Amino acid sequence: MATTKWAIDTTHSEVQFKVKHLVISTVTGSFKKFSGEVSSESEDFNNAAVTLNIDVDSIDTNQADRDGHLKSDDFFSASQHPTISFAGKLVKNGGDYKLNGDLTIRGVKKTVSLDVDFGGVVKDPWGNTKAGFELNGKVNRKDFGLTWNALTEAGGMVVGEDVKLQMNVELAKVA
C-alpha cells in the first residue's frame, strides 16, 4: 500500500500539560506553536511514523511571569533549547493504540509511551480528509533536566515532578 502523508492542522489541535502546584492544586499550560506530520501505510494508522516539534517560546500558562520563568534556564532554557521534539510510531494492539517514541526536552532524549484514542477519519465540508486523535500520558520533568524547585514552609514542593500531557490532534491528509 502507498504511504499517505498527513500534517497537523494546528487550528484544530492543542498541546497541553498539567502539573501540581504547592501539592494542592494543578496548573494547566499549553504550547501555542507546534507542527508535525504523520506517514501511514494503512487506513487505521497502525505503525504510522509520527513527528512533532514544539516551539518552547510559545508556552502559555495564562501568567506572563510564570511563562518567563518556564522559558529560563531554571526550566526549559528556551534560548539554548528552543524546540521540544518527538519522533515515534503509532502502534495498534487490538482496539487500543499507543504512541511510542523518543521525546527530547532541553537536549535530553527519553523514550515515552502515550495512550491514544483514535477518533476516526472523515471528509470535512470542503472535501478535505481529516483524522482525529486524543493523546494522554505523563512524564517526570526531572528526567529531562527540569529540576528547579523550592519548598514551602510545610516542606512541600512548589512544583510537582509528574507532568500530565494532553493533546488533541486533528490531521489533514496532504498526499
Q: What is the pLDDT of residues 99-116, one digit of tens each?
A: 999 999 999 999 999 999
Going by pLDDT thresholds of 50, 70 and 90, the confidence category of residue 94 is: confident
Q: What is the spatial distance between Cα 141 and Cα 30, in angstroms, rounded to a whole number? A: 15
> What is the average pLDDT across 8-35?
91
Phi, psi dihedral angles at 143 (to 5 degrees): -60, -20
Q: How confident is the model at residue 24 (pLDDT cuts 50, 70, 90)?
A: confident
Q: Rounded to whole angstroms, how far apart are CA atoms 82 and 56?
A: 5
Residue spans per domain, the chain:
4-173
pLDDT band with cut points at 50, 70 and 90 for residue 21: confident
CA atoms of 67 and 158, how far apart (whole Å): 15
37-50: pLDDT as tens digits: 999 999 899 999 99
Question: Would you say 10 and 36 are in contact if contact means Cβ atoms under 8 Å apart?
Answer: no
Alpha helix (H) ranges present in the chain? 64-71
Q: Is the Cβ–Cβ distance between 70 and 59 less than 8 Å?
A: yes
Per-residue pLDDT, averaged over 156-163, amounts to: 73
Q: Name the CATH topology of 4-173.
A: Lipocalin (2.40.128)
Q: What global pTM score does this model have?
A: 0.91
**What's the confidence (pLDDT) of residue 92?**
92
7 or 27: whose pLDDT is higher? 7
